[in-house]
Chain A
Amino acid sequence: MLCHRIIPCLDCDLAFPEGRVVKGIEFKQIRYAGIPWQLAEKYYEDGADEIVFLDITASHERRETMTHVIEKTSENVFVPLTVGGGIRSIEDARKVFNAGADKISINTAAIKNPIIVNRLARYFGSQACVVAIDAKRRYVTGPEEANDKIVIKTPEGLCWFECSIYGGRKFTGVDAIRWAMEVEERGAGEILLTSMDKDGTKEGYDIPLTEAINDRVSIPVIASGGCGASEHISEVFQKTQVSAALAASIFHYGTYSIKEVKEFLAIKGIAVRLG
């Protein structure tokens, strides 16, 4: 039986020589959590099913620091590594694959130039091509106000979801649900779905968002944003059919270890890889 994946995410500030893992709150305030390859090794030993590295600086000058981080990590970490942040071309992607990444994650470049999803999938295979979607709720009084967008009922009211790019700094008007369906068509192998409303709040995943997208695509979806406790991970697996849950701060600051989270999930009857 296929296990639900638990994926720690390392948001990397590459202004430092070896990089620093940081964690923002609602994409803004920043705290430092450690050196990327050291944290990655710790998470691997602790049972992480995959590890995601996001370059939050996303500038070309610092791409070499990320390459170095991945090279160093992949020498001792034998689970899949995904790298995202600032990848704009086949050439950018090739560099991170050559450094030892197994998958790349793209957001901004895909929204600005959607054909890049087709190209990356054709070139490196769908399995290596993750599209990240940062979605923000836009509340409306009714569907007519949402202009063709897919409107979802949430406990807080009706809303559609807007895609954001540049690490949450720019909004696009793009409907996140429709965009998810489009990137599947274009060949994406997975969707990394982050709720901007929940990210950093530690209130739990955005269940209506996760369910809305997961039910409309047939590729695996990774839920992200809002995890502050093991219960949030069991909740997202029990209320939606997502394949994986991504979390950052609960692991970085030692609230729970990955092993503790997995043991908790196993008791709840959720299939996870232990030991």
Chain B
Amino acid sequence: MGNIKSVCNALKYLGAKPVIAKSPSDVKGEKIIIPGVGAFGKGMNNLKPFIPKIRETLTSSIPLLGICLGLEMFFEGSEESPRTKGLELMKGKVIRIGTKLRLPHIGWNSLEIRKRACPLFQDIDNGYAYFIHSYHALPEEDVLAATTNYGCKINASVWKENIFGTQFHPEKSGALGLQVLKNFLEL
């Protein structure tokens, strides 16, 4: 899930020209997206060569979007891979979802937008987005932009200046998801 191909397809559908960065020198676009695949530890390991480039977004104004695991990696660490440090772009850590319901949390769940000013959610009313995950971020700063409910409150989106994250998959969330990506592209 969250595979790069799906994200590229959605971006192309919206008229953008995504480039898949194979090395840090490929990262010279106007915007950066980190799609999420697999476990936290492996994800951070794959991301290693790109970490300086990504951390630059803290001081530049280049919009950065993390999807699913991409969002999770913004934080300091994850219960999923306790020995691996995250990107530390946001304070807080990633924990296993504390619900009595089935995990993974798979399917379409209703978004509750918490920060109406968040540019990702322009022209979007609360609607349904596609989730597929067992972990979610617990921020220790005021970055929560949207939540959903699955027997407990789940972090659905974070926003801090030019850094955005969605725990759901906009590239797999039909018209709502395409609007989220369009909003990101228009930043």
Contact = CB atoms under 8 A, between A and B. Distances in A.
B172 A80 contact: yes
The main secondary structure of chain B at its interface with chain A is mixed
B102 A218 contact: yes
Given A100-B6, A102-B172, A127-B1, A76 B13 contact: yes
Contacts of B103: 218-219
The main secondary structure of chain A at its interface with chain B is loop
B118 interface: no
A57 interface: no
- Which bracket fits the contact residues of B? 35 or more
A1 B109 contact: yes
- Residue from A5, A49, A124, A125 having most chain B Cβ neighbours under 10 A: A125
Contact of A78 (B38, B108, B173): B173
A5 B108 contact: yes
B39 interface: yes
Interface in A180-226: 189-190, 218-220
Given A100-B9, A190-B106, A218-B102, 18 more contacts: A2-B108, A3-B107, A5-B108, A74-B5, A78-B10, A80-B1, A80-B132, A80-B169, A97-B5, A100-B3, A100-B6, A102-B1, A102-B6, A102-B172, A125-B39, A126-B104, A219-B104, A220-B102
Across chains A and B, which 7 residue pairs bring their CB atoms closest together, nearest first?
A273-B128, A273-B108, A3-B108, A127-B132, A125-B38, A2-B109, A100-B5
Interface of A: 1-5, 44, 49, 74-76, 78-80, 97-100, 102-103, 123-128, 189-190, 218-220, 243-244, 273, 275
